[in-house]
């Protein structure tokens, strides 16, 4: 469920950079790192910021106890002066970022980490691992929830990914619009509503399908969901209504031509008088399959594999780059913009940045504006970054339901083409405004 420290959720070279910077006297220089992506996954129209709350937890728990220091000493990862520096490590800087649930675009400064070089550089890997994973899942979830419309979505992918990643994926899916999860660990940790009834094994356990349905109804009540595709669907539906009566809560279909089967099952349920019985469909769904079922008499969807793997895009390719640093260790030294210059599309824009979203006359977003220096008068009040950590103390933690509602509002504020499943460019262009380092 968790770990006492996140300090080794990092890469070896982050510690060797720290050692060299300490020896050179540059580790205490004030620095600004930013998290951004140079492009969205192919075909995606917007990204979704998710995992911010988990990043805040990770930063709080990033410290080196005796056991971790002993491991680093034994493996000679860094020298003794660096180990002594790490023994006292607690992040004491500031973090600003897009509020969790907000949408983002190429170049958006999703997270800005400010402090000394030494304390900021250590956080690179853990921050990227959380944001890249959770934002990818949330983006897939957002597309699926948009395709589902008002029909609820159930997250049920725990068995298709690492056990701890499954908990994070469930949280990210909830941010993206899913209503419930099958994962009890996610329910316990994040207070996400959990659901579940039975699998095919329960039906196969009993001497007959009728016996299995009777056992489930006797235990869970008539409002339960009965799985009807273990043997013959039509016979199972008939037996389900005979056992539970027209008050049967729902039936679940997990295989076959879901569009055809859903229509047949709806007709059969209505003929049997079970007009209020809902139909839940599962079976390796993604956003395209959900969209194809829009006209089907389906009441809810259960999604697993495609969700927890980001529906083909399991990472957002976010990076963590130094964009400004002071010329000395003097806390008052001005910041100088810095940026990597290289071929192959890996260039970045230097300077401490702000971001704002420009709206058109109808209040619909029309551009993501990213800049350094003063915010233009027309964008004041539209800034996107919020304070998350101040002087090492977390100040931006939020309830998950607030984050979920924010995402729904942010997506609704985009042009309608944002929710199209056809491939296309980002729905908003990113415009850059330069005006200094942004001290």
Q: What is the DSSP string of 327-358?
A: SSS-TTPPEEE-----SSS-----S-EEEEEE
| 3-state SS class at 390 | strand
Range of lowest pLDDT (254-268, 337-351, 368-382, 384-398): 337-351
| pLDDT over 60 at 325, yes or no | yes
pLDDT in tens, 369-383: 999 999 999 999 999
Q: Which helix (H) or strand (E) holds 326?
A: strand 319-326
Asked if residues 114 and 30 have their Cβ atoms less than 8 Å apart, the reply is: yes
Strands (E), 82-126: 94-97, 103-104, 111-116
pLDDT tens readout for residues 278-305? 999 999 999 999 999 999 999 999 999 9
Lowest-pLDDT range of 78-87, 350-359, 426-435: 426-435
Average pLDDT in the 75-85 region? Answer: 98
Evaluate the CA torsion angle 334, 322, 119, 171 in order and state its sign.
positive
Checking if the pLDDT of 415 tops 80, the result is: yes
Chain centroid, CA 268 distance in Å: 39
pTM: 0.95
195-207 confidence digits (pLDDT tens) = 999 999 999 999 9
CB neighbours of residue 436 within 10 Å: 14
C-alpha torsion angle, residues 38, 305, 103, 53 (rounded to 10): -100
Hunting for tokens 């009807």 — which residue is that?
Answer: 228
User: What is the percent of the chain where pLDDT is above 70?
Assistant: 98
Mean pLDDT over 351-355 rounds to 97
Q: How far apart are the first and last CA of the chain?
A: 40
Which pLDDT value is given to residue 344? 66
**C-beta neighbour count of 413 within 10 angstroms:** 14
The confidence band for 341, taking pLDDT boundaries of 50, 70 and 90, is: confident
Query: Cα 301 vs. chain centroid, distance in angstroms?
Result: 19
| Measured CA angle at 343 (ends 342, 348), to 5 deg | 50
Coil vs helix vs strand at 368: strand
* Predicted confidence (pLDDT) at residue 42 exceeds the cutoff of 60: yes
Question: Residue 21: is its pLDDT beyond 70?
Answer: yes
Per-residue confidence at 3, pLDDT binned at 50, 70, 90? low
Tokens encoding 326: 């002071």
Q: Give the pLDDT confidence score for residue 434 in this predicted structure.
A: 84
Quote the pLDDT of residue 435.
74
Return d(Cα 417, Cα 307) in angstroms, integer.
22
Q: What is the mean pLDDT of residues 321-326?
A: 97
**pLDDT at position 222, please?**
98
- Digit-coded pLDDT (tens) for 128-187: 999 999 999 999 999 999 999 999 999 999 999 999 999 999 999 999 999 999 999 999
Between CA 359 and CA 364 the distance in angstroms is 5
Question: What percentage of the chain has pLDDT greater than the value 90?
Answer: 94
Q: What distance in Å separates the CA atoms of residue 226 and residue 250, rounded to the nearest whole number? A: 6
Mean per-residue pLDDT, 397-407: 98
* Strand ranges of the sheet holding 353-359, from the earlier edge strand across to the other edge: 353-359, 365-372, 430-433
Instruction: Look over the chain and give the mean of its residue pLDDT values, rounded to a whole number.
Output: 96
Q: What is the pLDDT of residue 1?
A: 43
Residues 6+ apart with CB under 8 A from 162: none
Whether the predicted pLDDT of 73 surpasses 60: yes
Q: Residue 251 has what pLDDT? A: 98
- Report the SS3 class of residue 191: coil
């Amino acid at each position: 469920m968790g770990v006492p420290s996140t300090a080794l959720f990092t890469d070896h070279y982050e510690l060797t950079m720290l050692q060299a910077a300490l020896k050179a006297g540059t580790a205490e220089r004030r620095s600004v790192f930013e998290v951004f992506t140079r492009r969205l996954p192919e075909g995606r129209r917007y990204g979704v910021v998710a995992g911010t709350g988990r990043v805040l937890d990770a930063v709080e728990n990033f410290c080196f106890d005796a056991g971790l220091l002993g491991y680093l000493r034994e493996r000679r990862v860094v020298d003794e002066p660096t180990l002594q520096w790490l023994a006292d490590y607690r992040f004491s800087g500031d973090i600003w970022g897009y509020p969790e649930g907000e949408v983002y675009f190429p170049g958006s400064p999703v997270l800005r980490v400010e402090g000394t070089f030494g304390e900021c550089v250590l956080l690179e890997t853990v921050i990227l691992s959380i944001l890249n994973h959770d934002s990818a899942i949330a983006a897939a979830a957002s597309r699926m929830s948009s395709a589902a419309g008002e029909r609820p979505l159930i997250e049920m992918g725990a068995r298709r990914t690492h056990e701890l990643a499954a908990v994070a994926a469930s949280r990210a899916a909830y941010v993206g619009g899913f209503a419930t999860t099958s994962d009890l660990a996610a329910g316990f940790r994040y207070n996400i509503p959990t659901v579940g009834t039975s699998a095919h094994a329960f039906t196969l356990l009993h001497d007959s399908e009728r016996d299995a349905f009777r056992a489930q109804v006797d235990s869970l009540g008539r409002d339960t969901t009965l799985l009807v595709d273990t043997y013959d669907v039509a016979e199972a539906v008939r037996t389900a209504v005979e056992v539970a009566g027209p008050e049967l809560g729902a039936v679940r279909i997990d295989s076959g031509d879901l569009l055809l089967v859903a229509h047949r099952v709806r007709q059969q349920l209505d003929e049997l008088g079970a007009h209020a019985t809902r139909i839940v469909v599962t079976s390796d769904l993604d956003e395209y399959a959900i969209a194809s079922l829009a006209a089907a008499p389906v009441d809810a969807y259960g999604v697993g594999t495609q969700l927890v793997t980001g529906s083909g895009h399991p990472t957002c390719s976010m990076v963590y780059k130094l964009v400004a640093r002071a010329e000395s260790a003097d806390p008052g030294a001005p910041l100088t913009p810095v940026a990597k210059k290289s071929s192959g599309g890996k260039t970045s824009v230097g300077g401490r940045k702000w971001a704002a979203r420009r709206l058109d006359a109808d209040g619909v977003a029309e551009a993501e504006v990213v800049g350094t220096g003063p915010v233009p008068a027309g964008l004041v009040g539209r800034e996107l970054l919020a304070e998350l950590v101040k002087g090492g103390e977390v100040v931006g933690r939020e309830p998950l339901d607030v984050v979920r509602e924010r995402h729904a509002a942010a997506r609704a504020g985009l042009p309608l083409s944002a929710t199209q499943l056809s491939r296309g460019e980002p729905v908003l262009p990113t415009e850059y405004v330069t005006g200094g380092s942004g001290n």
